[in-house]
Amino acid sequence: MHIEHFEKGVRYTDRELLLLARKIGKLVTYCEKLKNDDSRIRVEAMSRDTKKMEDHVKVLISIYLPEKTLHAESRHPTAIEAIDRCVEKLEPQIKRYKELCAPKNRGKTGRKPTESSL
């Protein structure tokens, strides 16, 4: 899965980059069975001048999957906190998408029932 990361006015320490990679990697593992060549994750982090310091960093994460695009946005004092919140918002969206796109359960054996077994 291709990951795009864009920053505007945000700087990461080495430790924060490792945390960021780990958190985005968590989203990639959720999408493991859904991925194809066109799937990608786009992360945008931007620093803004606001009156409230708790809205200082805005992070947008978009996951482009076959026939669906999932989005999450969060504003927090630090980029890592905003990414945490975005990941929390995206997890149920991914689970719902997997349920809709997964093939229907065909019983315990995983095979389609035949006339002789009915």
Domain ranges in the chain are 2-101
Q: What pLDDT is recorded for position 104?
A: 55
Mean pLDDT of the chain: 80
pLDDT at 102 over 70: no
pLDDT at 35 over 70: no
pTM of the complete model: 0.76
Residue 60 pairs in a beta bridge with: 44, 73
Average pLDDT of span 79-99 = 89
Average pLDDT of span 96-111 = 66
pLDDT digits (tens, 9 = 90+) for 56-78: 888 999 998 888 899 999 998 88
pLDDT at 89 over 70: yes
Distances (CA, A) of 4 to 28, 39, 81, 102, 113: 12, 11, 19, 26, 44
Q: What pLDDT is recorded for position 103?
A: 61
At residue 35, φ and ψ (nearest 5 deg) are -70, 150
**Strand ranges, E, within the chain:** 2-8, 40-47, 57-65, 68-76
User: 91 by DSSP, 3-state: which?
Assistant: helix
Confidence band of 109 (pLDDT split at 50, 70, 90): low
Which CATH number is 2-101 given? 3.30.160.100
